[in-house]
Amino acid sequence: MANSDLIAKRAHDGREVFETRSIDHIPDSERHGSLTSQFTLWLSANLQVTAIITGALVVVLGGDVFWSLIALLLGQLIGGAVMALHGAQGPQLGLPQMISSRVQFGVYGAAIPIVLICVMYVRFSANGTLLAGQAAAQLLKVPDTTGIGIFAVLIVLLTLLGYRAIHFVGRVVSVIGVLAFIFMFARLFAQHDIGALLGNRHFSIASFLLSMSLSASWQIAFGPYVARIIRVICRARHRPRARFSRSASAR
């Protein structure tokens, strides 16, 4: 951004408060962050209601619990490997994935995948905002539209504040999400016969492949923008560990 120095708002320590790099290259002098922050960021991104519903769909669509769990695990491993390769590009190039894709598609040709990605993420954001907004409305005892509006405002605010604010929220949400899942699993094991659920097996290749594809697509869908987030950390010496940190947190 050519006029970033003019519009950047800075904190008392001289750091930018609002995001100014956007899709620009991140020079080495501005690289910061750690693998731990990447782990908590992507962990928090996956500990949310849209991921739960995506996983539950495999049973809703006819799969049994036992084989669906295996298919979901395989899908995470396959999709995570593809997505992690995108993440490895971030620290090396310092560019978002959709900008670096100009190498393959050309400056004008890259507009085609960018349009498709924009459509995909508008729908993804709409689904997430709807589900999270409804959950917030239930907690706050307000109408659904109010809960959705509150959630949307918070997301826009985080977008404006940028990298540091997003990572701070990611650390907080990771702790809350892990505790919430521990509580839910404790209630699940206490109130339901898990053995009976796992014992009800009726393998279907169609259901198995559907479960695996849903799981893999969840991971691969992160690919177009994972490089944008990871590009701010140091380059070559962190590449294999960054790839592992991103993949492990998403599973």
**What's the CATH number where 120 sits?**
1.10.4160.10
pLDDT in tens, 26-71: 777 777 666 777 788 888 888 877 888 888 888 888 888 889 999 9
Low-confidence stretches of the chain (pLDDT beneath 50): 1-14, 237
**Strand partners for 16:** 10
Please indicate, yes or no, if residue 51 is contained in any of the structural domains.
yes
According to the model, what pLDDT value does residue 250 have? 54
Q: How far apart are CA 45 and CA 37, in angstroms?
A: 12
The count of domains in the chain is: 1
Distance from chain centroid for Cα 55: 15
In a domain, 23, yes or no: no
User: Is residue 17 in a domain?
Assistant: no
Domain membership of residue 16 (yes or no) is no
| pLDDT tens for each residue of 2-33 | 333 333 444 444 455 555 667 777 777 777 66
CA end-to-end span of the chain, whole Å?
Answer: 35
Report the candidate in 128, 138, 149, 145 with the shortest Cα–Cα distance to residue 52. Answer: 128
Residue from 44, 84, 45 nearest 247 by CA: 84
- Whether residue 65 lies inside any domain: the answer is yes
Tokens at residue 138, please?
């239930």
Write phi, then psi, for 10 (nearest 5 degrees): -115, 150
pLDDT at residue 73 in the model: 92
